[in-house]
Amino acid sequence: MKPLFSLFHMASPATLRRNGVLGMNRRNAHYVLPGNHRSLYPNVDNKLITKQICAEHEIPTPATFHIMERHGDLDWLTKIADLHQEFVLKPACGAGGRGVVVVESHEADCFQTAGRETMSLTDLQHHASTILSGLFSLGGQVDRAFVEQRIVRHAAFDPVAVCGTPDIRIVLYRCVPVMAMVRLPTNASRGRANLHQGAVGAGIDMRTGRTTGGVCRNRVVMRHPDTGSAIAGFSIPHWPALLGVSMELADVLELGYVGVDLVVDHAAGPVVLEANARPGLAIQLANHRGLLPRLEYVDNKGLGRMTVSQRWAALHSFAAL
Amino acid sequence: MQTKEHSITRLVVVVLVVSGTAAALARYSLRHMRSLPTGDTLWRIRYVVTFDTDQDGARVSIFVPGNTSHSRVFRQRLSHPGMRMEVSRPAASAINSLVATAPQPGSYRFVIDQDIHFASTGMAGSPKPGKAITTKQKEYYLRDEPRVQASNLVVRKQLAELIAARLPKARTVERIYTHCIDSIAMDAAGPNDALGTIQEGAGTTVGRARAMVALCRAAKIPARLVCGFELRQGEVNRPLIWVETRQGYGWVPFDLTNEFKGSVPKSFVPVGYDTPAPVTARNGIAGLHAEYSVQRFAASEIFPTSLRRGIASILDLTHLPLQTRRTLALVLLLPLGALITALFRNVVGIPTFGTFTPSLIAMSFVYADARIACILFALVVTMGLCGRFMVEQMKLLMVPRLSVVLTLVVLVLVFCLSALDYLGLSLGSGSMLMPLVILTMLIERIHITEAEDGFAYTLKLLVQTLAVAALCYGLLRWRTMGYLLIRYPELHLFTLAVLICAGRYSGYRLTELWRFRDFGDSSKGSQT
C-alpha cells in the first residue's frame, strides 16, 4: 500500500498518524465541535466584538478609527484620509483576510496599498460598500466595515518580510499554546500574510521563540523567496509577551480550540489582530510537526483548565513532541 | 463526550440500516406475495416504430394511454437509442403524449411498453366525474379542422336534412350516429376526412368517425375523435377509433365500427384525442411504420402495488401519474447528489464554489441535450463574467449589481435559446431548469475569487466544481436508480446512514495525503 501512495507523491495515512498530523475532519469532529460552543463563535467571527472583549480585558489591539454601518457612512473615508496617512480597512465578519485593504500612504485621491496597488477614493468607497453588503462576511450577511490603525512592523522582521506586516499565529488548546508560526508576506501574496496566497509560514520553537524552518505553498523552503534571507533561526521579538497575550485572550474567549493572530508593532509591541475558532492546519507544515501529540498531552493533564504556570511548563515538554 | 457521541451515532446508523432493510424487504415480499383481486388483469401495450429521415430534428408524436375508471398505467418503458424523448401535453387533452426527436438523418427504431392494470370492478380512487367544460375548451371541441370540416356548407346541409326541428342534444347525437351507421358505408379505400366521407356516403373507419364528429360540431355539440386500444388477447391489434360527444358533465362514447352507442366496453383504453393513430409523423419523416400489440401477462411478472387505495398507499409512490413519477425519480436522486458532494468535501477534500451548486447545475442538465447544455452553460457564464467585469467599472452597490448580472444571465440564456431554435437545435423541455440565481452567484463568486486569490486558484476551484457537477450529472441520469427509489424510497435510509457516517468520519481527506506529503518524505520536499 505504501509504495502506491509514494507513486502518487502522497503520504500514507499511517505515516501521517505516526507523525501525529491532525486532519481537517478530526480537527472539526474532535476539537472544534466539542470544544467551541456555537454561541461563542460571534466573539471571534466578528472582529469588532473581539476588539471590544480585548478592550474590556486590557489586551492590546490596533486603535479603531471609525466603524461604518451604513452606506451613508462612506464619506467618513475622506475624513479618515485627511487625518491618517496610513490605515487598514476591514470587514467586521471577514474570513481568510478577504476584503482587507491596507493603505500604506496616500496623496490626494491616490491611495497606495501594501500590495503595491493604487486605488482611488471612489475605489475605496466602493470596496467599503461591498463590505457593508456582506460579500466578504462569513455567512453572506450584511456586515460592518471598520478602519483601524496600520501596524508598522518591528524592525526585526525586515530581512524576512516584504510589502506587509508578518503576523504570528498561535494555536491554543484549552488555553495552552500548542503550536505557533509566523506568516511572512511575499510579493506573490501581494503583501498579505495568507499562506494560500503565497506567503511563507515559518514554524516557531514554543520554548525559545526561534523560527525552525518555513513552508511556502505547502512545500518546505529554507530562504525567503523575495529577500533570500534564511528563515530558520530567526528570533521573534517579544516572544514571551506574545504567548502571554494569547493565553490571556484564550482565557476570556472561553474557546477550547482557538487560533490567535498577533502582530508585533515597532512601538507598541504585541497586538492582537483577531482570533479564529477554526484555525487552519498549515501550521503543522510550517513546523514540520503534527499537532496531535501536543493536543493529547494537554488532554492527558486532566479535564480542568491548567494554571498559567502549568501552561508555561507544558511549553518545555512540547519540544520533545 | 466523544464516546457518547460515537454511541449515539452508531445506534442511529444501526437503526437506519435495520429499518431500511426491513422496510425494503417487507415491500419486496408484499409486491410478490399479494395476488391480484379476482377479475383483475395485467396488460402490456407495445409500440414498435421504425422510420427514416433525411433531416436534422425530425419528430414523431406518440400518444400513450392514460388512466381511466377501470385501468391504470403502472409502468412505462422506453427504448429509443440515439433519439431524444420528451413528454408534452397537447392542448385541451388530459392524456400525455411523447415527442421523439431524431437528432440527425438516418434510420431509427424505438419501442414503448406500457403496462396496464385493468380492474373489472372499477379502479378505486379513479377520476371523479368531470366538471362542466370551460368556454375555451368548448370552442376547442367545436373547431373546424382540415379533415373535420365542421363549418363546410355540405356538412351543414347534411345536418339540416337530418335535424329538421330543434331537438335535445342526446336525440341530435343519436340521430347523427344512426345516420352514420345506416347511410355511410365502411370502405377501407374510401376517403378519411369528414367532407369526402359525407359526400361519397362511404369512408374509412377514421373517415366515418370524423364525419360524425363534424356533424356533431356543426350542431354545436362538442365532439372529439378518440384513438385507443381494447385490452383483448388477439393477433391483430389495430388501434380502435371511436367518437366522444360532450353531454352534460361527461363525454359519451359512440363506436361506429362495433356499433356501441352511449358506452363502450370498460376494456377500451383511450390513448389520444383527435389523432387517427397512436403514432404520427410531425416533420421530416419518411416511411413511418408502427406495429402495435396488446398482450396479457401474468401477475407474477410484475405486481402493481397501487391496486386499491388505502391510507397506506401514501407510502407507495408507484400509484402516482407517470409525469409526476418522472419528476420524483429525479428529486429522489438529489440526496445521492448531496452524498457525492459530502463525500467529495469530507473524504476526498475537494472544495467547490457553493456547497450544493454542483448538484443544482447537474440537475439543470438532466432533461436537456448535454452537449448543447454545456455550450449554453459556458456561454452564459462567460457572458455573465464579461458583464460582471463591465459592471465593476460602475461601482454599483451589491444587490443592484447582482440583479444586473441576473438580468444579463437571463437575457443571454433567452437569446441563446432563440439562436438554438434558429439553428434548428433544441435543448429539450427541461432547459429552463437552469438555476439562474445559482449561476448569478457563481459568476459573482468567480469574479471575487479571481480578484482576491488569483486566476489559477479560481480556475482550479471552477474545474473542481464542474468535476463534481459532472459526477452528479452521471448519477442524476441514472434512471434505473431513480425508478428503483420510486419503488423503494426507504433505500434513502441507507443514504442517511452513509451521510451520518460521512459526518462522523474523522480520518484524513485524500487531498491531505498530498498536502502533508512532506511528512512522509525523508528529504522533506523541495527545499529552496
Pairing between β-strand A110-113 and β-strand A101-107 as defined by DSSP bridges = antiparallel
Residue A244: the pLDDT is: 93
Tens of pLDDT, residues B303-332: 444 444 566 667 778 777 767 777 788 888
Contacts of B456 in chain A (CB under 8 A): none
Best of B9, B504, B515, B521 to disrupt the A interface (most A CBs within 10 Å) is: B515
Instruction: Provide the pLDDT for residue B168.
Output: 83
Cβ–Cβ below 8 Å for B528 and A11: no
Cβ-contact A171, A247 below 8 angstroms: no
Q: Which residue of A has its CA nearest to B455?
A: A197
Query: Checking DSSP bridges between strand B279-283 and strand A145-149, what pairing results, if any?
Result: unpaired
β-pair type (A219-221, B260-261): unpaired
Residue B376: pLDDT band (50, 70, 90) is: confident
Nearest CA in chain B to A71: B397
Q: One digit per residue, pLDDT tens: chain A, 321 residues?
A: 666 777 778 889 999 999 999 999 999 989 998 889 989 988 999 999 999 999 999 999 999 999 999 888 888 888 888 888 899 999 999 877 788 898 988 887 889 887 778 899 888 998 998 888 887 876 667 889 999 999 888 888 888 887 778 999 999 999 999 999 999 988 888 777 788 778 899 999 999 999 998 888 878 888 888 888 888 888 999 999 999 999 999 999 989 999 999 999 988 889 999 999 999 898 999 999 999 999 999 998 876 778 888 888 888 888 777
pLDDT at res. A25: 93
What cell was used for B204? 374509412
Using the 8-state DSSP alphabet, how is residue B230 labeled?
E
User: Residue B85's beta-bridge partner residues?
Assistant: B100
CB distance A19–B508 less than 8 Å? no
| Contact predicate B232/B267, CB 8 Å | yes
A26, A129, A221 member nearest B397 (Cβ)? A129
Hey, of B393, B405, B518, which one would you mutate to test binding to chain A, going by the most A CBs within 10 A of its CB? B518
Instruction: Report, as an integer, the average pLDDT of B465-473.
Output: 89
Task: Check residue B33 and give its pLDDT.
Answer: 56
Minimum-distance CB partner of B525 among A13, A219, A281: A219
Contact A303, B1 (CB under 8 A): no
Question: Are the beta carbons of A34 and B1 separated by less than 8 Å?
Answer: yes
- pLDDT, greater one: B235 or A259: A259
Closest CA to B192 of B146, B236, B243, B259: B146
Residue of A nearest to B454 (CA): A197
- Tell me if B42 sits within 8 A of B115, measured CB to CB: yes
Contact B384, B404 (CB under 8 A): no
Q: How far is B306 from chain A (nearest CA, A)?
A: 45
| Residues in CB range of A251: below 8 A, 6 or more apart | A175
**Beta-carbon separation of A135 and B398 below 8 A:** yes
Which three three-digit cell numbers place residue A32? Answer: 472544534
A116-125 LR contacts (CB < 8 Å, sep 24+)? A116/A163, A116/A190, A116/A191, A117/A190, A121/A77, A121/A78, A121/A81, A122/B395, A123/B395, A124/A77, A124/A89, A125/A74, A125/A77, A125/B395
> What count of other Cβ atoms lies within 10 Å of the Cβ of residue B135?
8
CA distance to A194, A206, B50, B279, B430, per residue, from B101 (Å):
54, 71, 13, 13, 15
pLDDT at B80 over 70: yes
Q: Residues A115, A191: contact at Cβ < 8 Å?
A: yes
Q: What is the pLDDT of residue B299?
A: 64
The partner residue sitting opposite A135, judged by closest CB among B346, B448, B507, is B448
Task: State how far residue A240 is from chain B, nearest Cα, in angstroms.
Answer: 29
Are B513 and A13 an interchain contact pair (Cβ–Cβ within 8 Å)? Answer: yes
Would you call B395 and A25 a contact, using CB atoms and an 8 Å cutoff?
no
Q: Which one of A10, A196, A288 has the shortest CB-CB distance to B517? A: A10
pLDDT of B127-180, one tens digit each? 455 667 788 888 888 999 999 999 999 999 988 888 877 788 888 999 999 999
CB contact under 8 A, A11 and B521: yes
Residue B419: pLDDT band with limits 50, 70, 90: confident
Q: In chain A, which residue's Cα lies nearest the Cα of B441?
A: A135
Q: Which of A16, A18, A33 to mutate to test the interface with B (most CBs of B within 10 A)?
A: A16
- Residues 6+ positions from A188 with CB-CB distance below 8 Å: A197, A198, A199, A225
Chain B hits for A11, CB-CB cut-off 8 Å, are 513, 516-521
DSSP secondary structure letters along A232-251: TTPBPTTHHHHHHHHHHHHH
- Alpha-carbon gap: B502 to the closest alpha carbon of chain A (Å): 10
Grid cell 456555537 in the structure block, residue: A38
How many CA atoms, within 13 angstroms, populate the side-chain half-sphere of residue B169?
15
Partners of A26 on chain B (C-beta within 8 Å) are 506-507
Mark yes or no for CB contact A5/B520 under 8 Å. yes
Point out the least confidently predicted range of A18-27, B87-96, B393-402.
B87-96
Which pLDDT belongs to residue B104? 84
Confidence of residue B524 (pLDDT cuts 50, 70, 90): very low
What pLDDT shows up at residue B223? 93
Residue A149 C-alpha, separation from nearest chain B C-alpha, in angstroms: 22
Q: Where are the alpha helices (H) located in B203-299, listed in sequence order?
A: 205-218
B520 to A34: CB separation less than 8 angstroms, yes or no = no
Query: Which of A8, A15, A133 is nearest residue B519 as measured by Cβ atoms?
Result: A15
Nearest to A30 among B444, B506, B516 (CB): B506
The reported pLDDT for the residue numbered B213 is: 94
Contact assignment for B508 to A23 by CB distance below 8 Å: yes
CB nearest B528 (choices: A8, A98, A221): A221
pLDDT, mean of residues B346-350:
90
The answer to whether the CB atoms of A16 and B507 lie below 8 A apart is no
The confidence band for B527, taking pLDDT boundaries of 50, 70 and 90, is: very low
- The DSSP line for B272-326 is EES-SSSEEEEES-EEEEEEEEEEEE-TTT---TTSS--GGGGG-GGGS-HHHHH
B440, B497, B443: which is closest to B19 by C-alpha? B497
Overall average pLDDT of the B387-391 stretch: 84
- Mean pLDDT, chain B, rounded, equals 82
Q: Do residue A23 and residue B448 have CB atoms under 8 angstroms apart?
A: no
- Mutation site, A12, A17, A19, A24, interface B, largest B CB count within 10 A: A24
Neighbours of A256 (CB within 10 A): 21
At A65, is the secondary structure helix, strand, or coil? strand
Predicted local confidence at residue B93, as pLDDT: 56
Residue A222: its chain B contacts at CB < 8 A? Answer: 527-528
Residues in chain B closer than 8 A to A10 (CB atoms) = 513-514, 517, 520
Residue B89 has pLDDT above 70, yes or no: no
Taking any CB pair shorter than 8 Å as contact, residues of chain B touching chain A are 1-2, 5, 346, 349, 395, 397-399, 444, 448, 452-454, 457, 504-509, 512-521, 524-528
**Confidence at residue A270, expressed as pLDDT on a 0 to 100 scale:** 93
Q: Is the pTM of this model over 0.90?
A: no
Put simply, the answer to whether A133 touches B515 (Cβ < 8 Å) is no
Query: H helices within B393-429, ranges in order?
Result: 398-422
Q: Do B508 and A21 touch (CB under 8 A)?
A: yes
8 Å CB contact of A220 and B2 = no
Q: Which of A173, A222, A180, A217 is nearest to A199 (CA)?
A: A217
Q: What are phi and psi of A157, to 5 degrees?
A: -85, -10
